[in-house]
Amino acid sequence: MLKLTRRILAIIFWLGITFLFLDFTGTLHPYFGWMAKIQFLPSILAVDISTIILLIVLTLLVGRIYCSIICPLGVLQDFFAWIGKLSIFRKNKKAKFANKYSYSKPKTWLRLAVLALFIIMLLASINAGVILLAPYSSYGRMVASLLQPAYIEINNLLAVWSAANDNYMFYQVEQHNNPTILFAVAAITAIILFILAFKNGRTYCNTICPVGTVLGYLAKFSLGKIKVEDSKCIQCGLCAQNCKAACIKVEKGKPVVIDYTRCVTCGDCETVCNKKAIGLKYAPVWEKGNKTTKDTSEKNTDSDISRRSFLSITGTALATAAIKAQEKTTDGGLAEIEDKQIPERATSITPPGSLSARNLQQHCTACQLCIANCPNGVLRPSQKLETFLQPEMQYDKGYCRPECTRCTDVCPTGAIRPITKEEKTAIQIGHAVWVEKNCIPLTDGQNCGNCAKHCPTGAIQMIPADRSLKRHPEYGFWMDANGNRVNTRNMKQIPAINTEKCIGCGSCEYLCPARPFSAIYVEGHEQHREI
């Protein structure tokens, strides 16, 4: 029963989180968005105390059930392990599934070393290392870069087919090319994960994953554990052969040993036991009897790590993490939007709601959920080392529409805080900069004014290109050097930017017809401001 229940819940969570990354319409987030926000590391970075307490209590009640049900990377490992157990991949072709696992010694020092390294990188803001070890983010990158392009392509094919049949249920979505580095990181992660899970089950989860290490040692003190009834056990070894965590040791004439720091409460051992001698039972740590994972027949120093040492590392990890913690249009039928070059910005632009570049850098795990859900194609993975794969804004394919708050709604870590549409229009994430040498009225002699027409805050006004003209201080009309009123209707006009009103949305940069570089672009702000 445990295995069946666990599988049903795991599939629900896995599909829900997967489609959060695939869904570009934002339809599913109101229903499944909470699944991303209850992930362990994102909840710590978001300082979501209620969720942190919930996950800790859940672990203290039934062990590492989080890794078997809630964590999408853990569920994916189980799927790869299931493939590896198929008889077609085993020497014994008679059985549908082959018993393939065996007990392995715990690699305690390696696990704690990786956890310590993770904490150090978190403290030092070495984001490239942090995001590579974060399990939820690793899964998000794999879905966003490996599966979403195929998902969008299928959607576009269905859109063409449905339109041909006078059905408009589907609509075409522009495919944005992800950086090669993102694809490479996701592909390498997937390959490593597949090889480890295919051959040895939960090796990645129980050796490398820092979340698995923290929850594993908390699980040593759980009230509910997988326990063996010695009176029923015949020591056949089926439980050990089917334990994908390799945490059950069976030796003739000796009590069965279970390493609870690696057990993920999957129920596989309970299912295969013919004598019903093993299963989830109430077994608090203070009870006498078969309560320890320590193998007394071996002098394994790794198993002798003191409780105090682990709790110290875990406490440090939690505390420090918490502290640090549509289709493209031309909007009016102007010139066709062609590919343009992205300008070199002195300061990168971070999404509204991120508060500052530093806040985003400290809290973001580069899961790509905001990027996958951006309907305007504005958010892109950064390729800079200090903000590796974290979102930054580019306006060559669209601009940040004032009415859109999708990224603020989906972020599970607090890197992008929730804001309303009204609040967004008053947040200044950057300011527009005019590039005189690229402006069409000066280069081609044709008036444009596209930037001013589409500025949502009215921060851009067109003024005469003739610098000798001055505006009347009281009435606002233009005058020549002699003070005579001048009719500027037929004069060449250039943009004048009020940086105090500009919010940095990028509509001017995106809709500027100048090529290959826009005549106006947005420079980011390190610290966002309210206007």
Per-residue confidence (pLDDT) for residue 481, from 0 to 100: 72
Cis omega (within 30 of 0) for bond into 418? no
| Structural domains of the chain, ranges and CATH numbers in brackets | 2-318 (no CATH), 357-530 (3.30.70.20)
Exposure letters 304-343 (e unless 16+ CB within 10 A, then b)? ebeeeebeebbeebbeebbebbeeeeeeeeeeebeebeeb
The mean pLDDT of 423-432, rounded to a whole number, is 93
Q: Which of 121-130, 234-243, 309-318, 471-480 has the lowest mean pLDDT?
A: 309-318
**DSSP characters for 314-348?**
HHHHHHHHHH-------SSS-S-----PPP--SS-
**Residue 485 above 70 pLDDT?**
yes
Per-residue confidence (pLDDT) for residue 289, from 0 to 100: 44
CA 511 to CA 331: how far, in whole Å? Answer: 8
Exposure letters 431-451 (e unless 16+ CB within 10 A, then b)? bbbbeeebbbbeeeeeebebb
Q: Which of 98-112, 240-254, 343-357, 371-385 has the lowest mean pLDDT?
A: 98-112
- Per-residue pLDDT band at 296 (split at 50, 70, 90): very low
- Per-residue pLDDT band at 186 (split at 50, 70, 90): very high
- Per-residue pLDDT band at 8 (split at 50, 70, 90): very high
| Chain mean pLDDT for the chain | 85
CA 240 to CA 99: how far, in whole Å? Answer: 9
Report DSSP state, residue 297: T
Give the tokens for residue 359.
Answer: 């806040």
- What does the pLDDT look like over 198-232, one tens digit per residue? 888 899 999 999 999 999 999 989 999 899 998 89
The mean pLDDT of 305-329, rounded to a whole number, is 53
**Residue 410 above 70 pLDDT?**
yes
**Residue 181 above 60 pLDDT?**
yes
pLDDT: which is higher, 101 or 290: 101
**Residue 478 above 80 pLDDT?**
no
**Residue 302 above 50 pLDDT?**
no
Per-residue confidence (pLDDT) for residue 94, from 0 to 100: 54
- Per-residue pLDDT band at 298 (split at 50, 70, 90): very low
**Residue 457 above 60 pLDDT?**
yes
Per-residue confidence (pLDDT) for residue 463, from 0 to 100: 87
Q: For CA atoms 171, 420, 400, 493, give the dihedral sign.
A: positive
- Of the candidates 268, 292, 289, 288, the one whose C-alpha atom is nearest the C-alpha of residue 280 is 268
